[in-house]
Copies of this chain bind each other. A is one copy, B any other.
Amino acid sequence: MSHRTDIEIARAARKRPIQEIGARLGIPAEDLIPYGHDKAKVGQGFIASLRDRPDGKLILVTAINPTPAGEGKTTTTVGLGDGLNRIGKRAVVCIREASLGPNFGMKGGAAGGGMAQVVPMEDMNLHFTGDFHAITAAHNLLSAMIDNHIHWGNALDIDQRRVVWRRVMDMNDRALRDVVVSLGGVANGFPRQTGFDITVASEVMAILCLARDLGDLEARLGEIVVAYRRDRTPVRCRDLKADGAMAVLLRDAMQPNLVQTLENTPAFVHGGPFANIAHGCNSVIATTTALKLGEYVVTEAGFGADLGAEKFFDIKCRKAGLTPAAAVIVATVRALKMNGGVARADLGAEDVEAVRRGCPNLGRHVANVKGFGVPVVVAINHFAGDTEAEIEAVRAYAAEQGAEAILCRHWAEGSAGIEDLARKVVELAEGGGGNFAPLYPDAMPLMEKIETIARRIYHAGEVVADKAVREQLRAWEAEGHGHLPVCMAKTPYSFSTDPGLRGAPTGHVVPVREVRLSAGAGFVVAICGEIMTMPGLPRVPAAETIRLNAAGQIEGLF
């Protein structure tokens, strides 16, 4: 058991030069574009050259519904990658990039923890290789071109009241949520009300993460609906001729970033779309590239399996033609106790009954993932205070659901602590028991897709939506968007839309308040609850204590 902090462990990492990490995957040094000595992008020519190779096996790491107790999904993803390498499988980890802005609000650190981390940790939580800055620039170029087009005569006849494309900034800045622009007179354009979202909420982010290559990226950018005319016909990015320049701004950002774990396992860290109004997975291009280079690719999806795994299967896998070979559902004794009604302050005491009461949350996720035809194993991410009886209760419950639950000590021990899980994953992936299929067919009407997810995954009793919402969905179907998957935006804390309703509720009502079209990304967003797309800073922001120490190291970021 380590008594060092995550950042102390990360700083002490014995990193290998990134060219050496690339060489393990057969990437020649000239096809790695270095960003410092420990980060690199993989060249597009090299990626294109891999086209005809067979794919490795894709392993999804997902989780029970998140609680304040912490589940450790990223830590388990990283640890499993190391564990697979330890048992002789050439494994690659694929995770998301972190957003810069939120680090200055609460303490950050989105690269795993303990002995299961990806490094360089500081860089990954700051500018990294500049991908998010490129997305910000591409998004805001389109915004500027919209107002510029209106300013110079509005030949496309955009209804200024129906501009739906906002601006973005990678910063927690509540003052920008709702703004009036173009004040100050004729030279500054026509005043109108709009706002900023945080960069990870940009449709450009979702597009970058779903595009197969640069050509597909540009085509998807062109499809973005930015505004409507008075007659409600859409105005697209392509109509403004912004798609080419946006693709230029995103050219480098489209190339996956290669880094390494503490144990020098190759890790692709690329893309990071919101997990509510977008699909919450790392980029398709990173995943498909990793599948050509590794025998095993371990990746994760945002939030719990009700949101993250469902979108991973129904959006990312469907669109990219991916077939997951197995899924790991991460649970902790502590989080199951919270699902069983224990308050956070009382998590220290043994409470086997509470664990048992919380287990149905795990059980439903197991059944849901199995329902996609994907073999499942449960990872019990070990915390120091867990008792043997509590752990046994989880094991017994999982066995009743037809899933093995394996205790994992990767946080404290690295790959040595997660060998059993790695072996089980290989057994499942190579056992031929998988039979993956998305939850619903493309041809199903949009409202029916929403109802299918709500009933089959959330176990809701009813979906309610205003006439305006239903009409909007029908209008999009009439315009040819009916084949798109739906992207559910609801609280991650419950199967229901009530964040306080833990466990495995049934018969609840899912209200669809609003629907949005992400025509470029290729999905329809169903918003079921308050979704915040621009965070604010807390009363005492972490920024107040973030600084460089005398050695030039960053303090306060983690």
- Indicate with 1 or 0, residue by residue over A122-155, a CB within 8 angstroms of chain B CB atoms: 0000110010011011001101110110011100
The stretch from A78-86, A248-256, A401-409 touching chain B is A248-256
Classify the secondary structure of A's interface with B.
Answer: mixed
Determine if A171 and B144 form an interchain contact, defined as CB atoms under 8 angstroms apart: yes
A175 and B193 in contact (CB under 8 A), knowing A104-B141, A547-B245? no
The stretch from A428-436, A486-494, A516-524, A535-543 touching chain B is A535-543
- Which 10 residue pairs across A and B have the least CB separation, nearest first? A244-B547, A178-B184, A133-B133, A245-B543, A144-B173, A241-B544, A147-B175, A245-B546, A178-B183, A148-B537
Q: Which residue of B lies closest to A537 (CB)?
A: B148
A37 at the interface (CB under 8 A from B): yes
Specify which chain B residues have a CB less than 8 angstroms from the CB of A104 in the assembled complex: 141, 144, 245
A300 at the interface (CB under 8 A from B): no
A203 at the interface (CB under 8 A from B): no
A residues 164-208 near B (Cβ < 8 Å) are 167, 169-184, 187-189, 193, 195
In Å, the complex CA distance between A151 and B172 comes to: 13
- Indicate with 1 or 0, residue by residue over A97-133, a CB within 8 angstroms of chain B CB atoms: 0001000100000000000000000000011001001
In Å, the complex CA distance between A557 and B545 comes to: 41
A35 at the interface (CB under 8 A from B): yes
A529 at the interface (CB under 8 A from B): no
- A348 vs chain B, min Cβ distance (A): 32
Specify which chain B residues have a CB less than 8 angstroms from the CB of A180 in the assembled complex: 179-180, 183
Given contacts A133-B133, A148-B174, A148-B541, 10 further A-B contacts (CB under 8 A): A33-B37, A34-B36, A126-B248, A140-B173, A144-B175, A151-B175, A174-B187, A177-B184, A183-B193, A245-B542
Q: Which of B181, B214, B249 contacts A175 (CB 8 A)?
A: B181
A to B CB contacts below 8 Å, 25 in the list = A33-B36, A126-B249, A127-B130, A127-B134, A130-B133, A133-B136, A140-B169, A140-B173, A144-B172, A145-B541, A147-B173, A174-B187, A177-B184, A178-B182, A179-B179, A179-B181, A180-B183, A183-B193, A184-B195, A214-B552, A218-B547, A218-B548, A244-B546, A245-B546, A251-B552
- A159 vs chain B, min Cβ distance (A): 16
Instruction: Tell me the number of copies of this protein.
Output: 2
Specify which chain B residues have a CB less than 8 angstroms from the CB of A240 in the assembled complex: 544
Specify which chain B residues have a CB less than 8 angstroms from the CB of A182 in the assembled complex: 174-175, 178-179
In Å, the complex CA distance between A134 and B100 comes to: 11
A320 at the interface (CB under 8 A from B): no
A44 at the interface (CB under 8 A from B): yes
A554 at the interface (CB under 8 A from B): yes
Determine if B175 and A536 form an interchain contact, defined as CB atoms under 8 angstroms apart: no
Q: Which residue of B lies closest to A189 (CB)?
A: B175
In Å, the complex CA distance between A349 and B403 comes to: 88
A326 at the interface (CB under 8 A from B): no
Specify which chain B residues have a CB less than 8 angstroms from the CB of A247 in the assembled complex: 547-548
Determine if B537 and A145 form an interchain contact, defined as CB atoms under 8 angstroms apart: yes
A552 and B44 in contact (CB under 8 A), knowing A248-B557, A545-B244? yes
Specify which chain B residues have a CB less than 8 angstroms from the CB of A187 in the assembled complex: 174, 536
In Å, the complex CA distance between A178 and B183 comes to: 5
- A176 vs chain B, min Cβ distance (A): 6
Specify which chain B residues have a CB less than 8 angstroms from the CB of A173 in the assembled complex: 140, 143-144, 147
- A138 vs chain B, min Cβ distance (A): 10
A141 and B547 in contact (CB under 8 A), knowing A34-B35, A37-B34, A180-B179? no
- A248 vs chain B, min Cβ distance (A): 5
Q: Which residue of B lies closest to A544 (CB)?
A: B241
Q: Which residue of B lies closest to A557 (CB)?
A: B248
Q: Which of B174, B188, B214, B548 contacts A178 (CB 8 A)?
A: B188
A214 and B537 in contact (CB under 8 A), knowing A37-B34, A179-B180? no
Specify which chain B residues have a CB less than 8 angstroms from the CB of A248 in the assembled complex: 126, 546-548, 554, 557
